[in-house]
Amino acid sequence: MTPKARRLTVLLLIAAVMVLLPRPLAGALEIPRAASWISLSNLGVLLATYRLGWRWGLVSALTLTGLITLAVLSQGQPPAAIPLMAISALALGLTARWEIQSLLVLLMVTQCFFVAESPVPAYSATVAAFAGLLLLLSTATATATAGAERLGGWRPPPTEVHHSWKRSLAYGLLLASTMAITSAIALQGDWGLMGGWLMLTPLMVMRPYARDAWPRSLHRALGTLLGVGLVHLFALAAPWPPALPIGAVAFSTVTVLAAVKHWHHMLYVAFLSAAVVLFNSSETSVLALAQERLEANLLGIAIALAVMALAQAVLRQRQL
């Protein structure tokens, strides 16, 4: 086995372990529903560490813990949750200066789900235990990933400046305004998990340059359709509840592989969509969740494109 293949194998093993580990630990803390989203956050930290290095990995783990804890505490309080999500989206947009926002977006995806329908009761002791577990597992993920890289003799390339601060700020404000719209719809309407999917979709569609977002939105829509198809096929091939966590781990591992190997964005979205649906399929019909995800994604794409079209029209008007 070549060093590159060995490093990839170790990385996928770390991904599988860190996806499985939250389930028994969250169960022991009597917050079993939080396990799925902790697993998803671990995937985000793993990808950030792998592509950006251990410093970014640890910063991601600490930031993620703080933001998700605030999301849990703001449940049922849209006046607090909506500004929190908008500010988080603005911060994500600013990272476009180094063109790393696509590596960090999975962290905010987890925040979207926690603020849309928190699986953790807002009791001080429970929230403290949850925050400790999230911090422990996310830092462990970053440390294990960095260790595997160092043992494999590979270091991520240094980050480089790709956009000006002005362009990055404009992009961040665009993300923040879109997030304010989608989070207001989701939280005021009490959409639950469907609201989480509505909020996350523009984050994965919008780009610093509007012209890049149109093909991205098409890939997002097609990837979601493909992900729904994968879930349907899995539900038909393995209709037993014990198979659902296995499917979630399998699709999560392939999602990491797609990100590491730079597969087409449509495939990455498809596998991520299937993993997210199966993560939460213990409470609701798998096919019903897949259908909700499709509807929320299409609405999120429409809102993102409308906001970008409006921003372009305003910019052209100012240039006249």
Question: Which pLDDT tens digit goes with each residue over 266-278?
Answer: 998 889 888 888 8
Q: Where are the domains of the chain?
A: 3-319
CA 234 to CA 130: how far, in whole Å? 31
pTM attached to this predicted model = 0.89
- Which of 311, 318, 88 lies closest to 213 in space, CA to CA? 311
Crossing angle (nearest 10°) for helices 101-116 and 165-188? 20
Q: How far is CA 304 from the centre of its chain?
A: 17
| The token pair that represents 224 in the structure block | 């979601």
Which pLDDT score is estimated for 87?
A: 97
Report residue 87 CA to chain centroid gap.
16
Residues 18, 22, 25, CA angle at the centre, nearest 5°?
135
Burial 292-308 (b: 16+ CB within 10 A, else e): bbbebbbbbbebbbebb
Three-state SS at 125: helix
**Considering the chain, what percentage of its residues have pLDDT values greater than 90?**
42
> Phi/psi at 281 (nearest 5 deg)?
-85, 0
What the block records as the tokens of 124 is 């001080």
How many percent of the chain have pLDDT more than 70?
A: 94
74-96, pLDDT tens digit by residue?
988 999 999 999 999 999 999 99
